[in-house]
Amino acid sequence: MKTIYNWIFSAVFTLVATAAFSQGTVTGTIMDGEFNEPLPGANVMVKGTTNGTSTDFNGKFSVDVSENSGTLVITYVGFIKKEVKFTLTGGSANLGTIVLKADAQELEGVVVVGSGVIDLASDRKTPVAVSTIKASEIREKAANWDLPEILKSTPSVQNIKGGGFGDGSMFLRGFDQTNTAFLLNGQPINGMEDGKMYWSNWSGVLDVANAVQVQRGLGASKLAISSVGGTVNIVTKTIDQREGGFAQALVGNNNYVKTTAYYSTGVNEKGWSFSAMLGHWQGNGYVDHTDGQGQTYFISVGYQPNENNTLNFLITGAPQWHAVAGSGSIESFLENGRRYNSWNFSGVNSPNTLNGKGNVYPGGRNIYHKPVANLSWDWTINEKSGLSTVLYGSMGRGSFAQAITSGNDVLYARGSNNNHNWYGIVTNYNNQLTENLNFNIGADARFYNGIHFRDVREFISVDAVNASSGYSGDYVLTSAGGINPWKAFFNPNNDHGQKFGYDYEEQINYTGVFGQLEYANDALSAFFQGSLSTQSHVRTEFLNTQQEGKSEESDKIHNPGFNVKAGIAYALAQNHKVFANAGHYSRQPFHDVLFRDNRGSNEYLMPEVENEKITGFEAGYKLGGSAFSANLNLYHTTWDNRTLLSDNGEQEEDYIGYQTQGVKQVHTGVELEVFTRPFDKLKLNGFMSVGNWKFKGNGSQRSFDQDGDEIGSAVTVEIDGFNVGGAAQFTAGINADYEILPRFSVDGAWNLYNNFYSTGSLTEETLELPSYDTVDAGLSYKMLVGQNKQNSVQLRFNLNNVFDEVYLESVNGNLAASNNPDENYKGVNINNNGRFGYGRTWNFSLRYNF
């Protein structure tokens, strides 16, 4: 009997335990609300637990739960997070089809590796002024564009195309791209010497981009970086969870052809993954005689030995060469058309021919290869803390090859080489101190060696070039470095005896520490960030030395710097949030403004250039929602104690360089972004930004001759109240996407630019330029193919500047309008130098996804 009682007791206990700790199963299918397609790899988590799964290729999921009811949290890259409640019936629940809506600003789930180093706005509860371009939009619209063109439909951004491939630039809140920080997977990529960006070096990065996020103003980055205008985060693919890839072919105007292939193995049972991309492009260029070609490559190897550690190594590069186009007078473009290549071939006004044989030889070519590699490690120490580290390096090798002529003959191509070796590390430790308090601390170190010299790239009608040095005497150049970017990388010119004009190196070392403390509850969040850094500079001269064959090294200079930022946000209601941020930077001057002459002098400018002072205030309102959302931002940025370099545009004995110190700019403005979905098939978005960017106070200007010796004494330049030129202070745009049929859509974008001013000499007021607007359009169709419709073929057609608008995209000059109407173009004197924007262009792509 006792045995029976024990059996009954055990059975009852088991039933009770099963009822208390029963495990049920919740199933369903996740669908893309845009194209009514399954979403493979979507994350499905049981709210309040670490229990979850991901959807299969058909968008289906099955997750075990320990409660009879609860909530699932569903996330996917580029879509709005969704929460779905469930109740078990008979130990299971089928939620059927769950549709996710696309969100242009959503970045959750993008970053797999290096998430603690990549400062994305979505990782912090306290907002910043931000716009996000997701992978699907990049894939459709990037085509043969550079990154700045992709960002032009965001507030306070203006793209300037330039003349040749990759020669474009962008402005953010009126600041040029040397003063906007660009980060690739958390790695700073602005030039260490001058902050410049050369987009020809990054022509393949958009092919592997998961997302691009523009943080205007103070941004979310904890690094002490050159983010006066803002920060642009480029997040590339690292580890893909599933196997797959694509092959794409693209053709465009002016014989442009681009082919790209990408493949990922996914993560295997042992935690390894591998992905690679290869591409090739070539074209004639929109502007006359600006042909170019290049390759792109991307290789990523990931390893997840356990659930707490993820490692990834990637290397990417874009070796290329392209002919360039110089700016010219507005009159020359009006006479010859906007495709006119106004490059002045060393004083020859007509296009040079190759030894008189009728083949046009480029006046200048950009030749460069800059592979970038990084090793990322994410370590989840425990439930509350983690460490992320990125070790990176790049080796740039290349040249600007300029045609040196005599009469109508090209003698040789002179190379102005700008090589570098750059290594760095960024590491960040994160600790969730309490439920509401999060703490970050980290370090950032960069070590940069710049190598600059002139040599011969190509002999054309001569076999040797005579050269001389002020200290070394006369000698002869007999070797040529070539115009192939692969050769330039693997066979750099290390022979000081085959260099002329200038030959020097510089060593720039930077170290910094940073930290952030953020408090967040359901309604309120606040943060404080700070960083301290030091930067050192040393310059070594090889050519113009006092003793032949011996180098000379400058004294070392150290510049300390810091930044502090703080902000607060409050949720007024579920979809309404207000925020305010403030920050101050003490930023070290760029290397290029420290020396009396960057080509031949190791002497620092005296008095030494002091740190720039940047102070920013911003406030905003965010309205959330799936059918309608909006962002309103106000900003006030003061950039004080600037040092500007310029020259008179002349060469050799007539050259005069100018250094202007104590320059102050004040940029204020309002930005509005609106995202709407009037009905399921239509997305309608818009933006508007109104700025007021002016110089405040006056500057002190010094003049130097070609040898770096000061001419006369400093003079005051009266610039108070002048408008800051280069970008339109009023921009607006509307873009729409309509799904005509399943997986067949049409889209268009209209952009307006007004209150636009020239750049030029600081001694005269900038000129107001004519406003302009452009319209772009596109068609997309995706066809499902293969077994179970798992693969797809995607066709895309882009037509840019649909109405062939003729407009001045930039003017460098201050010459006032003439009293003679024939000497003006839309109120601008035609003797000013400038450049017209591109006319109508097009491209068509065919992409197979598998």
Query: Is 549 part of a structural domain of the chain?
Result: yes
At 762 the three-state DSSP class reads coil
Q: Could you tell me if residue 182 is inside a domain?
A: no
Q: Are strands 256-264 and 244-252 parallel, antiparallel or unpaired?
A: antiparallel
Domain count, the chain: 2
- Which residue among 58, 80, 100 closes a domain? 100
The DSSP secondary structure of 41-85, one letter per residue, reads T-EEEETTSS-EEE--TTSEEEEEESSSEEEEEEE-TTB--EEEE
Radius of gyration of the chain (CA): 29
Instruction: Assess if residue 201 is contained within a domain.
Output: no
Can you name the residues that pair with 805 across neighbouring β-strands?
A: none
Burial class (CB in 10 A: 0-12, 13-18, 19+), 799: middle
Task: Give the sheet arrangement for strand 328-329, strand by strand.
Answer: 328-329, 833-836, 808-812
Return left, alpha or beta for 29; rule: phi > 0 is left, psi -120 to 50 is alpha, else beta.
Answer: beta
Compute CA distances 651 → 646, 655, 733, whole Å: 13, 5, 42
Among 39, 66, 100, residue at a domain's last position = 100
* Residue 388 in tokens: 């992320």
Cβ(553)–Cβ(539) below 8 Å:
yes
Cis-peptide into 607, omega within 30 deg: yes
Least Cα distance to 643 among 612, 599, 686 occurs for 612
251 within a domain of the structure (yes/no): yes
Instruction: Give the model's pLDDT for residue 110.
Output: 45
Are 481 and 456 spatial neighbours (Cβ–Cβ below 8 Å)? yes
- Does residue 199 come out as left (phi exceeding 0), alpha (psi in the -120 to 50 range) or beta? alpha
DSSP H helical ranges for 309-397: 330-336
Per-residue model confidence (pLDDT) at position 764: 84
pLDDT at 652: 66
The residue written with tokens 């980055």 in the block is: 221
pLDDT at residue 512, rounded to an integer? 94
Contacts of 425 (CB under 8 A, 6+ apart): 389, 390, 391, 392, 443, 444, 445
Burial class of 574 by CB neighbour count within 10 A (0 to 12, 13 to 18, 19+): exposed
Closest CA to 632 of 583, 669, 685: 669
Long-range contacts of 140-145 (CB under 8 A, 24+ apart): 140/778, 140/780, 140/796, 141/778, 141/798, 142/206, 142/207, 143/250, 143/252, 143/796, 143/798, 143/843, 143/845, 144/250, 144/252, 144/256, 144/258, 144/281, 144/283, 144/843, 145/206
Token look-up 């309604």 returns: 523
- Residue 232, judged by CB atoms within 10 A of its CB (0-12, 13-18, 19+), counts as buried
In a domain, 48, yes or no: yes
Q: 225, 148, 160: which is closest to 807 by C-alpha?
A: 160
First and final CA of the chain: distance in angstroms? 67
Of 100, 122, 137, which residue constitutes the final position of a domain?
100
Spatial separation of the C-alpha atoms in residues 610 and 835, rounded to whole Å: 34
Average pLDDT per block of 10 residues along the chain, 850 residues long:
46 42 82 67 82 79 89 78 88 89 51 66 81 81 84 92 89 92 88 89 83 88 79 84 88 96 91 94 93 94 92 94 89 93 55 52 91 93 92 95 85 94 94 93 95 94 86 85 91 90 93 94 93 93 79 88 94 90 92 69 68 94 86 96 79 77 94 90 94 93 79 88 95 95 93 94 88 96 83 94 96 92 94 94 94
- pLDDT at position 14 is 42
CATH classification at residue 543: 2.40.170.20
**Cβ–Cβ under 8 Å, residues 429 and 516:** no
pLDDT value at residue 147: 86
Report the CATH number that the domain containing residue 16 is assigned in CATH: 2.60.40.10
Separation CA 693–CA 759 (nearest Å): 13
Report d(CA 302, CA 242) in Å as an integer.
13
In a domain, 144, yes or no: no
630-658: b or e for each residue (b if 16 or more CB lie within 10 Å)?
bbbbebbbbbbbbbeeeeeeeeeeeeebb
Please report whether residue 111 resides in a domain. no
| Residues 6+ away with beta carbon under 8 Å from 37 | 31, 59, 743, 784
Place of tokens 């020396």: 595
Strand ranges, E, within 588-656:
612-623, 628-647
- Is the residue at 200 inside a domain? no
The boundaries of the domain holding residue 534 are: 244-849
Class of residue 188 by CB neighbours under 10 A (exposed 0-12, middle 13-18, buried 19+): buried
Q: Who contacts 151 (Cβ-Cβ below 8 Å, separation ≥6)?
A: 131, 133, 157, 159, 170, 212, 214, 232
d(CA 377, CA 396): 25
Would you give the distance in Å from CA 409 to the centre of its chain?
40
